[in-house]
Structure 1
């Protein structure tokens, strides 16, 4: 297998060497390809109506052959978040615009606030800091003017005014809230009312929802004649992820002549994170030491928090079992019902109500009720410890992810598959590799030849591989 790969690698390298040309060997008079220039399409644009928006074009003088980035500095007399917003959104007054290979034209959308402001204001946008393969052209600055038009004169005729009933709401993650907009006056006909949503990166449908549902960041409502209020519900999702507190801004826009916005056009909803990692964490080594303190069985009647990475996937006895590991050790967990943590989850779990017991010679916690815990990160890879068969049989690595090198399957015959219990050996010593029928690779044929095998040290000291492509290495 190595000889084929080496031959292929030599061919690839050979082609690469023959295809390379030193820039210093270019023929006289030939120059390297010039950098791609970036310019604004328009120097000046005008937004005359409250609640309107305009696209600001950015063009490249040639088709880019590589990815990159350019910054856009915002300035001027207009106030970001009050007088206008942008898409993509700005952070600390700067928009970071990615440049994609093969895309020559880009747009920045500037949204004017729906609040009627009689003062003319200006947004200046300046291109800065292009990536190495790009340069700024001659049109580096564009101005967006927010001006008052005659159509925005206050309407003295009969009509209605809409406001949010509140300007700020503070909720805890998982709470719901019915948002009210008050209607002063009356409309003659049904009038559409659109509410836009601005977030700080939280995702609709993952961290919160609304009813009616949002479409492309907007909620569509209606104001009917005689209405005094209109409502929509906000639903924060208890995502069990420790991501911190965040805010969502709701803003009234797209008004009809019969319906004007009042002096409270926005509502900020602050969602307080409730998935807090405990300060009273116990290491897995401490948990394992309780077996020596209390014998082979004990019960945890109070809160007992541990934090670690789930190292097991589908190769366990059933869907209630998982292994968790921190820097001090690993341990077997059996949940009270189907587990909801997956391979690579970095989680905090509360073991309150669980029972410590010896299961087939290994230390484990039975009847764990905290099925989800608090997820700190996902897809975390735990590096295995390289050990020998002697180390494996010492019992010091129970519940941990390990790697044993230079071994082979004596019973591999090109037909037998991983499912079951199979010996591995290095001619001097050996161990057992176990694969349950639920494992994704249970039907894969046992490989011949010398290899390295990675797995969790499970009951009776058996090795439990979890991901075939990573855990069986030739």
Structure 2
């Protein structure tokens, strides 16, 4: 395109001179000298331009042919940085002035890219008979330097958000100011809040290694992206922020000013529904006979107090400030001792399991976890209180008792009798309990457990629940 424009420029200059020189003007000027001047004080050839025309103007239309000499100076080197049409010799350009012309010009061509700006100064130095130097006999031409293009890499935006339930995630775009070369890459550092773990709560594409994401560019591309995908963990952690920061760029690219992005993961496990107490749930057994059904959403919250010493792997005990109850899921239990959770009992059934009030066929899909390793303090009660049945489903502690069959051979497995004075009760241990094989201790001790199956005491963790 530049060559085409330049060719048109040369053709225009030559054609103009030929047409004007061939035209006869009937006006006869008196015999006087004709002043020749530069039209412009200065002109510029930018790096995008190939050439410019330097115009000269005669005071009057020429009545005869002539010549003017232009001296070239400055720090631009003729033949290396620029040339002219007509060609200069020894930095002098002899330019023909044609009869019947008043406006004329010559061409300065730029040759090479420059790392620094250079200057050409042009001076009208002498003219042949009939012509003389005008008032503006100096001009200059600036040759601008090649601009260094810095290829900046930036995030398209600085903030974004995505719901924890959105399995598609959010795309975080990055752009360069110009196309990249082959082998260009960058690295992005992740900043995570305490308790948030890559691979547990979210992941990225490309994958992060030690919380650093490598970014590679295809040749001649100007964009790339990171995909942030939350993991729906059913934990109520609240909204949290993940920071992305560009900290390295290689291959002709530099990190721009918009070098950081903050993503907000929006919690989806919050609820505005009513949370029912376990005491309220247990009261429903008074209003319904035999098995009864929960057709609508019914939420409870509490801490898991069991640790494997239950009738099967689908059963857990949960307790809040008002009481405790046996929950039996439709699938194996996924909770641990000390998990504080919310359960939705929709479509579950209230029934009696192993001689106690229980909620059966609870669906795990509707749960949320608030925290882990929450300690529930056992309520210390007497043997008589325990046998009353008023503490069913709760974690309790009975002091100053002893195992009647402790003989250094009997283990916890099965139903074992404890006694305090004349009162007795049974301690029940299933084979699934990790202490079922331990030999019954002798002597007076305290036992903590859940008032559960068939009115027995169910210890859950030997190191916590058996004390001397």
TM-score over 0.5 for the alignment? yes
Contact 2:344 2:366 in 1 (8 A): no
Note the 1:333-344 alignment, pairs <5 A: 333-344=327-338
Aligned to 1:419: 413
Structure 1: 5+ residue stretches without partners: 1-154
Corresponding position: 1:192 with 2:185:
yes
Corresponding position: 1:471 with 2:465:
yes
Note the 1:9-20 alignment, pairs <5 A: none
Aligned to 1:403: 397
Aligned to 2:214: 220
Aligned to 1:375: 369
Distance in 2 between residues matched to 1:264 and 1:319, nearest whole Å = 53
Aligned to 1:88: none
DSSP 3-state at the match of 1:255: strand
Note the 1:17-96 alignment, pairs <5 A: none
Contact 1:314 1:466 in 2 (8 A): yes
Distance in 2 between residues matched to 1:416 and 1:371, nearest whole Å = 42
DSSP 3-state at the match of 1:185: coil
Moved over 4 A (4+): none
Corresponding position: 1:173 with 2:164:
yes
Contact 2:448 2:465 in 1 (8 A): yes
Distance apart, 1:312 and its partner CA: 0.4
Distance in 1 between residues matched to 2:354 and 2:240, nearest whole Å = 47
Distance in 2 between residues matched to 1:195 and 1:381, nearest whole Å = 40
Distance apart, 1:277 and its partner CA: 4.6
Contact 1:189 1:224 in 2 (8 A): yes
Aligned to 1:385: 379
Distance apart, 1:448 and its partner CA: 1.0
Aligned to 1:306: 300
Cα root mean square deviation, aligned: 1.9
Distance in 1 between residues matched to 2:405 and 2:267, nearest whole Å = 54
DSSP 3-state at the match of 1:434: strand
Relative to structure 1, the CA distance from residue 356 to residue 235 in structure 2 (aligned partners, 3 Å threshold; closer, same or farther) is same
Structure 2: 5+ residue stretches without partners: 1-145
Aligned to 1:67: none
Corresponding position: 1:322 with 2:316:
yes
DSSP 3-state at the match of 2:171: strand
DSSP 3-state at the match of 1:460: helix
Distance apart, 1:237 and its partner CA: 1.9
Relative to structure 1, the CA distance from residue 473 to residue 278 in structure 2 (aligned partners, 3 Å threshold; closer, same or farther) is farther
Distance in 1 between residues matched to 2:466 and 2:259, nearest whole Å = 60
Distance apart, 1:278 and its partner CA: 4.4
Please give the TM-score of this superposition, normalised by the length of structure 1.
Answer: 0.64
DSSP 3-state at the match of 2:250: coil
Distance apart, 1:372 and its partner CA: 7.1
Distance in 2 between residues matched to 1:200 and 1:357, nearest whole Å = 44
Contact 1:341 1:372 in 2 (8 A): no
Corresponding position: 1:295 with 2:295:
no
Within the candidate set 276, 281, 286, 1:282 is matched to: 276
Work out which of the two has the higher radius of gyration on C-alpha atoms and give 1 or 2.
2
Aligned to 1:348: 342
Aligned to 1:94: none
Distance apart, 1:289 and its partner CA: 0.4
Aligned to 1:256: 250
Distance in 1 between residues matched to 2:215 and 2:368, nearest whole Å = 36
Distance in 2 between residues matched to 1:188 and 1:282, nearest whole Å = 62
Aligned to 1:124: none
Contact 2:412 2:439 in 1 (8 A): yes
Contact 2:183 2:251 in 1 (8 A): no
Please give the TM-score of this superposition, normalised by the length of structure 2.
Answer: 0.65
